[in-house]
Amino acid sequence: MYRSHVLVCGGTGCTSSNSQKIIETMEAELKAKGLENEVQVIRTGCFGLCALGPIMIVYPEGCFYSEVKVEDVPEIVEEHLLKGRMVKRLLYTETVTPTEIKGLNDTNFYKTQNRVALKNCGVINPEDINEYIAYDGYQALAKCLTELTPEQVIQIVKDSGLRGRGGGGFPTGLKWSFTAANKADQKYVVCNADEGDPGAFMDRSVLEGDPHCIIEAMAICGYATGATEGYVYVRAEYPIAVARLQIAINQAKELGLLGKNIFNSGFDFDLHIKLGAGAFVCGEETALMTSIEGNRGEPRPRPPYPAVKGLFGKPTTENNVETFANIPAIIRKGADWFASMGTEKSKGTKVFALGGKIKNTGLVEVPMGTTLRDVIYEIGGGIPGGKAFKAAQTGGPSGGCIPASLMDTPIDYDNLTAIGCMMGSGGLIVMDEDNCMVDIAKFFLDFTVDESCGKCTPCRIGTKRLLEMLDKITEGKATLEDLDKLEELCHYIKENSLCGLGQTAPNPVLATLKFFREEYVAHVVDKKCPAGVCKKLLSFSIEADKCKGCTLCARKCPVGAISGAVKQAHSIDTSKCIKCGVCIDSCKFGAIIKK
């Protein structure tokens, strides 16, 4: 029996800022003080508040230490764990009030969240199946196998209103029923953990923080659809997730929760991990299956749909990690419970990965229908540095952006589609006034050109032409006619591409054109980049009245474009200037302006 538990985040974000070393140091310190049998150190999954990592929580007090460094560990052990005095300077400031220490769930970041898919992340040790079982783990699978028929399981999932969390939003129960309806000697369940949307990391966090929940859900899906084998296709860039999933699979096999005759029900289910190798298109379901088969991950035309002819030509159900993560809770608590959260057509919760120009970067899970304003200002803590919010990008390279004027739109599948945006996997990148929307569109097109598999012409050549047109715009060489051509080409690519990658690739361009057309016009007509990002359109100059003639900028300039005598106002020779910005960074008086 331990008197204290120290939970340290072992997600990728905190591991990158040295949480593993913190755990090792803490264990060594505890041992040195003879406390190793009184205090237990547990490496958990992601807590969500990645901006403040590495994160540590000490129970029973529940006190929340943030940005902990290895050097802080001896003090925590000596003061808190030995003498019982909290180390106030390390407590997350928001939890400290003059009278008391608040718990995690009373902070702005956590209080409006509702964790279903992330329920166990940051709570249990993901490498110990007993902790998962203690939190109701594998009860849903037991209930399905011993009390429910496959048809009943599918009905519950249908009634819950759960829709695919990978981006498409297809009703999950319906998808399962299609596979179940097909007779075959072998069927498969595939979990899509090829989280390619740059800036989204909820799937990785679920696999790292609660891998058993995915195993349980896949086994339930196998039972419901008649599949006995499953594959988890994970990005190779996620080594921690892969390692924990493998540990979890081994533990489940040892306890008979995977393998032959699970719960004496006669149902067999086995699970394999397949590593991706870095191809965005493999997030598309048919491309993913082609990749599992050992080929170049090119998509296949549909129909036939995977429910008829999927992996190795057999009926296959494919769902994304976050979709699966909701399943055990739906079975345990019932369809009505799940359907009570969210909006009319989008039930339950959604995990968002907050990133970019926002204070509390991290993972948040909120009921569908929460407004963007609440997510960004209430939970996310707003924009740092007093800058103005410009837009939030959702859906990654397939999505669009939400401008400030639409911040009060309740976020769900249909509302986002209606404004020309997309839920996508849930990446939510916040941009402020310093970001150029044309540059952002170009960034995503650069990505899709690189990731287009090349199988179909509209995507392979069309996206390349789009990128060239955007280059022209950001270099100030475009005409207004080009903007119309740009839009026309976008629609052509959307209508004629083979798979989701091409069909959605023009979205970032269309959305920015729709909401920030004046910014495109400024590039084309005025030859200016209002945000000051597109280098070819910038010119640097020195304001004579602010310049003190300190000569620092002239010495730093790599091309000798700045001249002027000591204590005299300097000037920039724009024909020599390469617009690198070193002068702005070096000037202490704010005398250099770019516009």
Contact 43, 24 (CB under 8 A): no
CB of 151 to another protein, least distance (A): 32
Q: Which stretch binds another protein (CB under 8 A): 48-56, 78-86, 332-340, 412-420?
A: 48-56
The Cα 400–Cα 456 span in angstroms is 23
Among 32, 134, 174, 236, binds another protein (CB under 8 A): 236
- The contact mask relative to another protein for 424-463 (x = CB under 8 A, - = no) is ---x-xxx---x----x--xx-----xx-x----------
Burial 555-566 (b: 16+ CB within 10 A, else e): eebeeebbebee
Helix (H, G, I), strand (E, B) or coil at 551: coil
Query: What letter would DSSP give residue 50?
Result: G
CB of 163 to another protein, least distance (A): 24
CB of 1 to another protein, least distance (A): 35
> Per CB under 8 A, does 53 bind another protein?
yes
Contact 165, 350 (CB under 8 A): yes
> Per CB under 8 A, does 293 bind another protein?
yes
CB of 581 to another protein, least distance (A): 8
Helix (H, G, I), strand (E, B) or coil at 591: coil
Half-sphere exposure of 164 (CA within 13 A, CB side): 20
Contact 595, 532 (CB under 8 A): yes
Among 222, 276, 342, 381, binds another protein (CB under 8 A): 276
CA distances from 267 to 111, 273, 297, 326 (A): 41, 20, 32, 22
> Per CB under 8 A, does 225 bind another protein?
no
- The contact mask relative to another protein for 574-593 (x = CB under 8 A, - = no) is -------x---x--------
Beta carbons within 8 Å of 254's beta carbon, 6+ residues apart: none
Among 51, 162, 368, 402, binds another protein (CB under 8 A): 51
Contact 94, 111 (CB under 8 A): no
Write out the DSSP string of 101-147.
Answer: B--GGGSHHHHT---STTTTTTTS-TT-HHHHHHTTTTHHHHHHHHH
Among 280, 338, 516, 540, binds another protein (CB under 8 A): 280
> Per CB under 8 A, does 555 bind another protein?
no
Among 110, 201, 413, 540, binds another protein (CB under 8 A): 201
Contact 542, 481 (CB under 8 A): no
CB of 583 to another protein, least distance (A): 13
CB closer to another protein out of 366 and 383: 383
CA end-to-end distance (rounded Å), the chain: 65
> Per CB under 8 A, does 291 bind another protein?
yes
CB of 531 to another protein, least distance (A): 11
Site residue total, another protein (CB under 8 A): 54
Q: Which stretch binds another protein (CB under 8 A): 26-34, 153-161, 195-203, 538-546?
A: 195-203
Helix (H, G, I), strand (E, B) or coil at 6: strand
CB of 383 to another protein, least distance (A): 12
Interface residues with another protein (CB under 8 A) are 12-13, 16-17, 50-51, 53, 195-201, 204, 236-238, 274-280, 291-297, 312, 353, 355-357, 361-362, 393, 396, 427, 429-431, 435, 440, 443-444, 450-451, 453, 581, 585
